[in-house]
Structure 1
Amino acid sequence: MIDDATKEILRRRANYLCEYCHSPERISTTRFTVDHLIPKSIGGSDELNNLALACRRCNERRYNFVAGYDPETKAIVPLFNPRQQIWSDHFLWSVNGRTIIGVTPTGRATCKRLDINDERYSEDDSIRSARGFWIQAGLHPPKEDPTGK
């Protein structure tokens, strides 16, 4: 069980953003969840370097996967790890700010595994639509911190 003090450390470290899709926690009706980068079910720990802040949808879609399929190279590659990698090295925002584009095998595999852009749904019924509202409200896209996270 992760205590409240550790959760607050995670939230601050992540700048109150999902460490995968960069959704802002302040627009969520519930606090974001703690994701184990190496799931406990396969030997992961509750140590800070194994924890990430994740919105519920990313956490549920990541489940206990640590690798994914890159549709471009056809390779199985590790999913994005915010403790070891910089978000902007693997992802960028589309010009309109509604879509996250994976620019590396890890980025593409993470986008696919987490269905980060709700590709299965129409634009109106997806996270892309919500991002459009966040843009109008001045809450998106998030400003990167100096570490590129």
Structure 2
Amino acid sequence: MPRSKISEIIQAQIRQRANYLCEYCHASEQWQYVRFTIDHVIPLAQGGVDSLENLALACFHCNRRKSNNLIGIDPQLEIKTPLFNPRCDRWYDHFIWSVDQLYIVGLTATGRATVEALAMNRERVIHIRAADRDVGRHPPKDDPIQQGS
């Protein structure tokens, strides 16, 4: 089945709704060399559709790693659990930034499984976050940050 093209108008609505952040790892599209992709939260291959209710802004890495997966493994509880769904779930219910603002910490089974499945804390992205943090571009201003020392 050929993929349909998502209109520029719909893509603009998705970007604006996401505040130009990857809806998974919260990287800012503003500081990237390439535009983020439009992710089908529920993949077309699994019955998803090209509607605003099923589309999310995703950086290349999160989109590629999520692929057609809807389920991940919580590394703490070692159970299968749904991955984060940006159309149903609130980011701050499942994730928080570490005290040093470099690592995404999963607060729930869904959060931990998503961090693991999408490799949200891989070494290269940690270096990018550190550089962005040092110039005031990270983390996004409304994101929660762990308290402590």
The TM-score, its normalising length taken from structure 2, stands at 0.91
1:136 paired residue among 91, 115, 134: 134
1:46 aligns with 2:50: yes
Secondary structure of the structure 2 residue equivalent to 1:52: strand
Percent identity reads: 49
Q: Quote the residue 1:75 is aligned against.
A: 79
Using the alignment, how far apart are the partners of 1:21 and 1:114 within structure 2?
9
1:105 alignment counterpart: 109
Query: Secondary structure of the residue that 2:25 maps to in structure 1?
Result: coil
Shift of 1:144: 2.1
DSSP 3-state at the match of 2:38: strand
CA RMSD of aligned residues (A): 1.0
State the 4+ residue runs in structure 1 displaced beyond 4 angstroms: none
Aligned to 1:14: 18
1:68-113 residue CA offsets vs partner (Å, 9 max, x unmatched): 0001111101100111111011000011111000010000000010
Give a deviation string over 1:126-145, Cα, whole Å, max 9, x none. Answer: 10000001111211100228
Which consecutive residues of structure 1, in runs of 5 or more, have no partner in the other structure?
none
From 92, 96, 120, give the equivalent of 1:92: 96
State the Cα distance separating 1:41 from its structure 2 match.
1.1
Structure 2 residue runs of 5 or longer lacking an equivalent are 144-149
Note the alpha carbon deviations across 1:28-78, whole angstroms, 9 max, x for none.
101100000100011100010100000001000001000100011111011
What is the rounded CA distance, in whole Å, between the counterparts of 1:134 and 1:10 in structure 2? 24
- Give the equivalent residue in structure 2 for 1:63: 67
How many residue pairs get aligned? The number is: 139
